[in-house]
Structure 1
Amino acid sequence: MKISYNWLNDYIKTDLSVEKVASVLTDIGLEVEGIDKVESTQSNFNGVVVGEVIDCIKHPNADKLKITQVKINENEILQIVCGAPNVDIGQKVPVATIGTILCDKEGNEFKIKKSKIRGEDSFGMICSEEELGIGESHEGIMVLDSHIKLGMPIKEILTTSSDYTLEIGLTPNRTDAMSHFGVARDLASALKSRKIKSELLPISIEEFKLEEENYNPIQVEIEDANLCPRYTGIYLKDVEIKPSPEWLQKKLRTIGLTPINNAVDITNYILHSYGQPLHAFDADKIKGNKLKVGSVQKGTKFVTLDNVERNLDGTELVIKDSEDQPLCLAGIYGGLESGVSSTTKNIFLESAYFNPISIRKTSKKEGISTDSSFRFERGVDPNNTLLPLKKAAELFKELANATLVGEIIDEYPQPIKEVNTVLRYHKIDQILGKRIHRDQIKEIVKSLDFTIISDVNDVLDLNVPTYRVDVTREIDVIEEVARIYGYNHIDIPEKFSFTYDNNQQNEEDLLEDSITNLLKFNGFYEVLNNSITTKKMEDTNYVELLNPLSSDLSVMRQTLLYGMLQTVSFNYNRNQKEIKLFELGKVYFKTSGNNYLENKKLGLILSGNFQSNNWISKENRSSFFHLKGIVYQLLNSLGIQPSEKPIHSNLYDEGIELSMNNTYLGEISIISPSQFKEFGIKNEVYFAELDWDNILDLSTKRKALKFEEISKFPGSSRDLALLVDKNVNYFDLYKTAFNEEKILIKSINLFDVYEGEKLPVGKKSYALNFIIQDERKTLTDAEIDAVMNNLINIYSREFKAELRN
C-alpha cells in the first residue's frame, strides 16, 4: 500500500522527518518497505505555454502521426507534428516552444528544436505529463481545463513540489490502516506513547449543507440486511464532469493512480483518505428512481465497466433498479450502463457497508479485484459511512459545481455494536514478560479509541471501535498495547530458567527426529512444500477449498509427488546435479460419504547423480536400487521387515509396494517420463512415498523389544536359473516359494534378469538365490535337494518354467 507523506500530514501535525515517521510506523507493525522521493517536476517550464488545437489532420506519410495547428496567443499559430492518439481540435494543451529545455524522468535535459518529421515541419511539442515531469502518464498529451487563458505560462498553472511515497507492507487484517487517515491515527497513538509532540487533526464536515431539504429523488430498499447491513447515499444535481484541479491530480499520482475526471478522482481521493469505498451512479439511468440491494435471478446478464458481459448465478449481492436490472456488483465493480460518463448531469453517490464474506465470494468467483473489494472483503467500519459521504459531497460541490439535493438516505435497520472484551493487567505482564505502568496501559487503549467501561480489580472492561475488525479477544488487545508501547522497548532477559522434563518427550517426535537424521546422514535435504495445489495435479475425491486463493491453489494435495517434482525442477534450473530430497507432510482425501481423511506421508526423491565425481570414485548416477536401499535401511532401523510386490500405474514405469503383516507401508517407483517431463525435468526420477502413520504403528521401537536366540545351525545357499514367459514376474515366483516352503526358506534374492537373442521368443531368464535353513538342526544335502526339487516342480507346474543349464 502506498502512502503519500504530504497527504499524511493533512491529518497529523508533526515535525518528524519522513525517515523517522517510517521508523515509528515499522515499530508498530505498519512495516515501511521503501521510501521513494517524488518530484512533481524537474523542469522550470520556461518556454512552455497554454495553446489551443485549432486544426488536426492525419499526417500524409505516417499512419500514427497527425499535423496540428496550435494557437499559442492571439497572433501566433504553430504547426506541430504530434503522435499522441488523444490529440483533437478544441483542446487546451501545454506547448513547449522552440528553445525550451525540459527534463526527462531521469533528470536528463533535452532541448526543443525545429524539426522535420516524415517530411513535415514541426515547430514545437505538445507535451504529456511525463514530458513535463509531473506524472508517469505517457499514453497521450496532457489536456488542460478549457477555461485556462490562452498563452498563459504553464508554470503559473502547475505548482512544483516534492513528496515521498511510503510503501507499507500491510497485513490483511489491518483494514483500519488502509487509508491515510488510518495510518495517521495509528501514528498519533504511537507518538503519544513515546512522548513525541504531535496532533491528530480532526476531520471537519462543518461546511456540509443540504440545499433542498426533505426531498431525495432516489429511493433505496435493502432486500437482505444480512448482506447489506447499512446503505447511505446522497443525490447530486447539475454535476459538471471535467478534469480535476492540479492539487487533487498530484495527490493521486503520488500514490500511483492516474487521474480520470473529477467524479472518479473524488471517489478515489475519499477511498485513500478515509478507507471508505464510494460508488457514483448516473442518477438519470436508474429506472424507476429506485435502488434495491439484493440478488437477481440466475442467468441474468450484466455488463461491467470493463465491457465484459457476466452471467450472474443469483448468489451475488447487486445494486439493481426498480425493474431488477443490475447496475453494480455491490462493493466490487460498477456497471457500464449506469456508470458516470462525460455526459452525466446528476449523480447518486453511494457509501455502504457490505457483508465481507459475500463480497469475497463474488470477487473470487468473477475474478475481479478492485481497491473497493479489497477493503470490503476484509471489513470496513459500518459506523463510518456518513462522514466520507459528506466529505465527498463537499468536494463535488466545490470541484463539480454540484447541488446537494434533499436528505441523506441512511438505511441501517440493525446497527452493528462495538465488541466488548476485557483486559487483565496480570495477563499483559505474563505475555510480555514485563510490567507496564497501569496508567500507561490505559493511555494506550484510550489513544486507540477503545472505550474503558470500568476499571475494577485490575481488570479493564473495554468496548472496541467497530473499525478494528481484527480485535475481538483479550489477546488482541494485549497485542495492541505491545505494538504501541514498542516491541523494542520490551527487554530481552539475559538468561532463561526452565525445568526440562525428559518424561514428557513425545515418542513420535523422537522417532521422526531419528529418521530425519538418518536421511540427512545419507545426504538428503529436507523440503517443505505447499499443501495446497491445483486440481489438474490431483485425482478424484480431492478436498476442495471453500475460499481458494486462486484457481492454481484450490485443492489439498493427495500426494507429496508433485510438490517434490516442482522442487526438483527448481534445483535443476539452478544447475544442481545431485538431488536427494525428503519431505514429511500430510495428504488429504474426501471419502464417498463426504468424510475427510488426513494422513502423514514420508516422501523421498532421487534424481541426477547419487554421488559426484571425486578423487576416490567416479560419478555415480542415482538408480531405483539406491532409493530402495535407503528405504530398507530406514525401515530396518525401526524394526520393520517389509515384503514387496510389483505395481504399475500411470505415474510409475515400474515400482514395488511394501507391506508388513498385511499393513500397507508405501511404494518405491520409477516415475513415468510423462510425469516428470511436464515439470521440465530431463533426468530419470526415483520416488518413494511411505505411510508414516502405519510405519509408526509397526515400529518395534514403540513396543517392548523381544529377543530371539540366533540359530546355531547353518543355512545353505542354492541358485536356480529359470526360463519363464515374459508375463511372469518375480513377485509371483517369490510369493509361491514362500507359500510352499515358508519354514525352511529364509530369503530369496533375484540377482540376474536376462532377455536376449539367445532365448526363445517370448521368454526371459530369472536367476534366483535361496537361503535355506532349519532352526532345529543342520540340513543334509538330500533335504536341501528335496526343497529345491519341490520348488522346481511347482515352478514348472504353475509357470511352465524350465531350468537353464
Structure 2
Amino acid sequence: MGVARDLLVGLKHSSIESKEDLELKPLLFGNHPMRDDKTFKIAIQNPEDCEKYLGAVIKGVTIKESSELIKRRLKTIGVEPINNIVDITNYVLHELGHPLHAFDLDEIGANGVQVMRAKEGVKFTTLDGKERILDKNDITIADANSKPLCLAGVFGGIDSGVSVKTTDIFLECAVFDAISVRKTAKRHQLNTDASFRFERGVDPDMCKPAISRAIDLILEHAGGTLEQGIIELTSKTREKCKIDFSPVRCQKMIGLDIPFSKMENILTDLDFEIEKTEGDTNWICYAPKYRVDVTREADVIEEILRIYGYNNIPLPKKLNSSLSYFNQNNSERIRTAVADMLSSQGFNEIMNNSLTAEEHSSVCSSEVFGDVVKLLNPLSKDLAELRTNLAYNMLQAASFNMNRKSSNLMFYEFGNVYAKAESGYKEKHILGLLKSGLTQKEGWLNGKVKTEMVHLVQTIESVLQNINVPYSISQTGDSLEIKSKKVIIGSARKATSKELKHFSIKQEVFLCFLDWTAIHKVNTPAIKYSSVSKFPEVQRDLSLLLDEQIKYEELEALAKQMGGKILKDVSLFDVYEGDKLPKGKKSYALRYTLGDHSKTLEDKTIEKTMERILNGYKKQFQAELR
C-alpha cells in the first residue's frame, strides 16, 4: 500500500503523459458489522501499551494448504507458506503493511483476552519452540486468566498457535507501543516481520481495513462463519502531527525556487493537510497518521524534494572552496608512516567493526584489559559488545581468508578497544599484527619457509625503530613482553589451540598487539647524527649459565652499565634450555660490539671491559661462564 501511494504521487509529478487516469484504487472489503464484547471480552491494562485493539471470532474454519496464488506470491517475497490461516495474516501484512495474528480460540481461557505486562520470570514458549523467560516490561496478549498467549507485536506462543486441529480462531489486529515492541524484540533476540513494522510505527486507521481484508480471505479460503462481527477497543486517539512550515525556508534549504503551488500540490498528493497563515509564507502542515516518521520541518522539505526529484536540482557550474593550512597531527603522521612501511613489507591493512560477538572476550582472553561494555539494544548477538581486544576480529579475518585458499597472511589493523572502569569507561588505540603461513611465495629458488615468532619480532622491531621508540623484548611464559623505558607497550604470542579450534584454523598464527596510546606517551629521544667511525669495531661473545627466571633485558641493562661508552651494542643470538643443563637453568649466548670513535681499541681495554661485565653478571645474577 505504501509503495502504491508513493508511486502514484511520483508518477503524477513526473514527465509522463496521460496523468489524468492515475488514481489509487482502494481494495474492496466486506462490510463486517461491529459488535460488543459481552460474549468475548477485550481489555487493555495500560493505555500507553496499546492504542487500539480489534478482534474477531471466526468458527468452523478448515486448516489446509493455501491456494497456489497465495503461496506463489508469498514465496516471491521470501515468505515460506505454513497453512491457509497463517498465510493470510502474512499476506495482508505485506499487502497493507499492518501485522495481524491468529489464535486458536480453544486455547484462550475464559472467553477473553487482555493486553498486559508480563509477570517477571514467567516461562513462555514461542512458536519457534524456544522457552523464554519473560521480563516485567514485556507486553503480552494473555487470556482472561492472565495466561500469556503471545508476545505482543513480536511473536506468537506455541500453545495458542493455529494447528491442523484448529477449528475456531480469534483474529487480532492492533497498534502496540513502538518502543516497547523494539525492546522486547531485542531482549529476546526476535526480529520478525511484525516487530519490524511496529517498531517503526503503524497506521491506526489501517486496523479496520486490515482485519476486514483478512476476514474476507479467511472466509473465502478456509470457510467458517464470523461470529456477530468485529470487536474494537480504543484506549487513546492519535492526533495528526502538526508541523510549522515555511516555503521560503524550504527554497533556501533546497537551493532552488520551487513554486509554492508545486510544493502545495506535492504535499496534498502525499495526504498532508495544509493551513496557510500570514499570507502565503507560513503554513501549518498536518502529516497523515501513517507517516509517523514525519515530525519536523526538515522532514516535510525532504518529502517535497524526493517527489520533485533530486536529479532536477541543478549543480552549480562553479564550485567554491576554502583551503586551510595546518600542521598535521603528529600522532596521525606517525601512524601513516608506520602503515606505509607495513604495506611496503607486504602487509594488508584490515578494518573491523568495534562492535563484536558476545563470545569474543572468552575465546580470546589474553589481551582483555577490563570488563566488557555491553550494548543495551544490540542489533544482533554478533554486534552485542564493544571489543576488548583485536585478536578475535583478526583471527576471524584470517579464518575467512584461509577458507578461500589464501593461507599466507600478513595483516595489520589500527583499532580501538574498550572496557569498563570504576569511574566510567576506558579506551585504547592498538596496532595489531598477524602473520601466518609461508614467509614468501614458494618458488624453485626457495623452499617452504614457515613463519615463526622470529619473523614477527623482526616486524615489531622495524615498527619501533621506524618511530624511534627505545624498546626491549623479553620472554614471559609463552608470550613476549615489549617494554619501553620500563613501560609495557605491547605483547606478542602464538594463537592458542582454543582460538585455532574456534575459528577452524589448521596452521600456526602469530599475533602482536602494540599499545599505540602508551607508545605516544613515551618520550622518544631526538634523532642525533653521528659520523661513521674511522676505527674498527670488535665483537666478543659470552656463553652464560643462568637461572631460568633471569630475563635478557636485565643482562642487557647491566652490560650497558658496566661497559661504558665503548660498548656499542648487545645482542642475544642463542638460547638453550634442555636436559643437558642443571634443573632450573638455561644458557644464553650474547654478543657484544665495542668501539671508539677516537682511536683503535687495544686488547687490554677490551679484555678489562669484558671482565667487568662478566664480574657484574657473576655478582648480580650468579652467572657461570660455560
Kindly provide the amino acid, as one letter, of the partner of residue 554 in structure 1. A
Contact 1:232 1:352 in 2 (8 A): yes
1:696 shift after superposition = 3.6
String of CA shifts for 1:193-237, please: whole Å, max 9, x gaps: 2143363424366752417x55542333222333x2313223435
Aligned match for 1:373, one of 184, 195, 200: 195
Residues 39-84 of structure 1: per-residue CA shift (max 9 Å, x gap): xxxxxxxxxxxxxxxxxxxxxxxxxxxxxxxxxxxxxxxxxxxxxx
Overall identity of the aligned pairs, in %: 37
2:136 maps to 1:325? no
Specify the alignment match of 1:575 in structure 2. 405
* 1:187 aligned partner: 7
My pick for the range that moved more, 408-417 or 491-500, is 491-500
Q: Please say if 1:279 is aligned against 2:113.
A: no
> Is the contact made by 2:37 and 2:231 (CA closer than 8 Å) also made in structure 1?
no
Q: Write the letter of the residue equivalent to 1:229.
A: C
User: SS at 1:502's partner residue?
Assistant: coil
8 Å CA contact retained: 1:217, 1:235: no
Counterpart residue type for residue 479 of structure 2: E
Q: How far has the Cα of 1:433 moved from its partner?
A: 6.4
Q: Per the alignment, do residues 263 and 488 of structure 1 end up closer, same or farther by CA in structure 2, a change over 3 Å counting?
A: same
Match of 2:545 among 695, 709, 723: 723
Q: Is the 8 A contact 1:713 1:774 kept in 2?
A: no
Distance 1:498 1:699, change over 3 A: farther
Answer yes or no: is the 8 Å Cα contact 1:229–1:415 preserved in 2.
no
Q: Name the residue aligned to 2:270.
A: 448
Match of 2:467 in 1: 638
Aligned with residue 387 of structure 2, among 557, 579, 585: 557
Matches of residues 297-446 of structure 1 in structure 2 within 5 Å?
297-305=119-127, 309-340=131-162, 347-395=169-217, 400=223, 402-403=225-226, 405=228, 408-413=231-236, 415=238, 417-418=240-241, 420=243, 422=245, 436-446=258-268
Query: What does 1:606-645 correspond to in 2, within 5 Å?
Result: 606-613=435-442, 620-645=449-474
Matched with 1:524 is 347
Pairing partner for 1:232 from 47, 50, 53:
53
- State how far apart, in whole Å, the 2-side matches of 1:521 and 1:334 are: 57
Aligned to 2:430: 601
Aligned match of 1:685: 509
Q: Is the 8 A contact 2:129 2:158 kept in 1?
A: yes
CA distance in 2, matches of 1:434, 1:619: 66
- Gapped runs of 5+ residues in structure 1? 1-180
Partner of 2:414: 584
Q: Map 1:629-668; keep pairs closer than 5 Å.
A: 629-648=458-477, 653-659=478-484, 661-668=485-492
Distance between the aligned counterparts of 2:333 and 2:250, measured in 1?
Answer: 34
Q: What's the offset of the Cα at 1:520?
A: 1.4
Cα distance in 1 for partners of 2:119, 2:624 equals 75
1: CA distance, partners of 2:539 / 2:161: 89
- Deviation string 1:732-759 (CA, Å, 9 cap, x unpaired) is 3224434666777553211233456876
- Letter of the structure 2 residue corresponding to residue 415 of structure 1: R
Q: Distance in 2 between matches of 1:272 and 1:406?
A: 24
Give 1:397 shift: 5.9
* Correspondence for 1:803: 625
CA distance in 2, matches of 1:215, 1:756: 88
User: How many residues were matched structurally?
Assistant: 612
Taking the aligned partners of 2:58 and 2:434, their CA distance within structure 1 comes to: 69
Larger RCO of the pair (alpha carbons < 8 Å, separation 6+): 2
Question: CA offset at residue 274 of structure 1?
Answer: 0.8
- The alignment's TM-score, normalised by the length of structure 2, stands at 0.83
Deviation at 1:277, TM superposition (A): 0.9
Residue 565 (structure 1) shift: 1.6
How does 1:449-598 map onto structure 2 within 5 Å?
449-454=271-276, 461-490=284-313, 496-503=319-326, 505-538=328-361, 539=365, 541-593=371-423, 595-598=424-427
Q: Does 1:769 align with 2:591?
A: yes
* Counterpart for residue 104 of structure 1: none
Using the alignment, how far apart are the partners of 2:209 and 2:108 within structure 1? 25
**8 Å Cα contact 2:29/2:213 also seen in 1:** no
Q: Which residue of 2 aligns with 1:95?
A: none
Task: Identify if the C-alpha distance between structure 1 residues 682 and 253 changes in structure 2 by more than 3 Å, giving closer, same or farther.
Answer: closer
The 2-side partners of 1:580 and 1:716 are apart by 37
Q: How many Å separate the matches in 2 of 1:222 and 1:631?
A: 65
Asked if structure 2 preserves the Cα contact closer than 8 Å seen for 1:297 and 1:314, the reply is yes
Return the alpha-carbon distance in structure 2 between the equivalents of residues 568 and 473 of structure 1. Answer: 47
Answer yes or no: is the 8 Å Cα contact 1:670–1:684 preserved in 2. yes
Which residues of structure 2 form unaligned runs of 5+? none
Question: Any idea what SS the aligned residue of 1:183 has?
Answer: helix
* Conservation of the 8 A alpha-carbon contact between 1:601 and 1:691: yes
Query: 387-396 or 341-350, which moves further after superposition?
Result: 341-350
CA RMSD of aligned residues (A): 3.9
**Amino acid aligned to 1:525:** N
